[in-house]
Chains A and B, each alone.
Chain A
Amino acid sequence: MQEINRAALIKRASELLSDGTADRVLGWKAGEFDYDVTPAVFHSVEELEKDFVWGDFCGANFSKYLIKETQKGDGKVIVFLKPCDTYSFNQLLTEHRFDREKVYAIGIPCDGMLDITKIKSMADGVLSVKSEGDEVEIETLYDGVIKEKRENLLPDRCVHCKSKKHVSYDELMGEDGEVLDSGRFDEVEQIEKMTPDERFAFWQGELSRCIRCNACRDVCPACTCEKCVFDNPDSGVENKAAANSFEDSMFHIIRAFHVAGRCTDCGECSRVCPQHIPLHLLNRKFIKDINSFYGEYQAGETIGSRAPTVNYSQDDIEPSEAVERGGDNA
């Protein structure tokens, strides 16, 4: 079987560029170090060979970039999608956010990315990070070479990976995986089991660190409003500053609510948070509630599905029952 590595991806992308299928590639570009990989558009085989990279730090979800990229020119853009990215891809298509005809999607398998924060917490000065099977070799400035099991360096979203299956692509490289049951609601259940006072203390501790940089919103593939209510001076809630705990809570509650039913649980919000706020736990709470109140629903699983938040049935549970059940339904 073909091994999916940098060379294989460049080869396939180059073929597609040469035969005229597409005229540019949305991919990951190498940085100064092994871990500072940036999303970039490549226009030629030369550019690909010079800077394209595929590895442990290619976590960025490209789906949202397609909205802007597909509006630039008539040609197709090649995009590489990991399984979790394909859900966002479908969800954006459901919401008619980009032209499917302008994209050539290549599904690529993913064994989970590495979390640079976890690596940096155990290494003093990271010079290089190399993966060898189940082991990661970290060359450091002051601690020599550290070897660590890969599974200990996965970010939370990969530890609780929901699916290795691609739900959308034009072409798949490598083999498709399965939808997984990796206990992604475990943490939500732990919080639900706390007393209200403990829950309040927990969330105040987390949300009070927010600096309102808006990275969670700006990276989120579900946050695609042309103008966010929090950026609109006429909305009465526009506030750039984390002025007090109320504003932190309001921003995160409203944001999570606005993406409820559309959030595919890709985990980008928690990945980018400079203050390491576990924002995915807000989104997962909504997903868990939606599943338990209105039946299992995975946003982005199919194109065109109607989200439970924009639907109803005559025998839905009452809000008063919902708050009782929310915690007990674990």
Chain B
Amino acid sequence: MQVNEYKPLIVAFCCNWCSYAGADLAGNNRLNYPADVKIIRVPCSCRVNPMFILRAFQRGADGVIICGCHPGDCHYTSGNYYTRRRMSLLFSMLDYLGIEKERTRVEWVSAAEGAKFAATMNDFAEKVAALGENKRLEDLRCKK
């Protein structure tokens, strides 16, 4: 008999040049990571506006992760440095508002790091699953 286990919905913003390729590599290598991780490809991690993250939560995400090139390796030279500052400030603010800090994460994943991508997603999904459903940034209208 199968137990109806709670599976969190995760949105992963992945930069086109490193992390998306990293996800590809994870797939090519048949590495497992949760099917409930929905990848959104962005040209660079710094394309991710704080509103994207909030909107993901509004529409039912339980966790949001942003993946980009390692610092120093950005395809556009400096995009991920800006991501780092912005997300540091945004995540600190979300924590200040009492929203669980484990629901958001930034991780640097290169095109060669398929294994890291899968491990990151597994770890993140596990941490978010432990928290349960997102209640603090939910929009009741969007619930089914």
Contacts and interface: CB of A to CB of B under 8 A. Distances in A.
Contacts of B101: 196, 323
A161 B133 CA distance: 42
A322 B51 CA distance: 20
Interface string A241-278: 00110110110011011001000000000000000000
Contact of B54 (A250, A294, A326): A250
B47 interface: no
B143 to A, nearest CB: 11
Contacts, number: 122
A319 B98 contact: no
A321 to B, nearest CB: 8
Contacts of A198: 98
Given A257-B50, A323-B101, A246 B95 contact: no
B106 A320 contact: yes
Contacts of A199: 95-98
A93 interface: no
Contacts of B85: 293-294, 308-309, 311-312, 316
A316 B82 CA distance: 10
Most buried by A among B58, B86, B98: B98
B32 interface: no
B106 A285 contact: no
A55 interface: no
A172 interface: no
Contacts of A323: 91-92, 95, 101
Interface string A34-63: 000000000000000000000000000000
A243 B95 CA distance: 23
B140 interface: yes
B98 A201 contact: yes
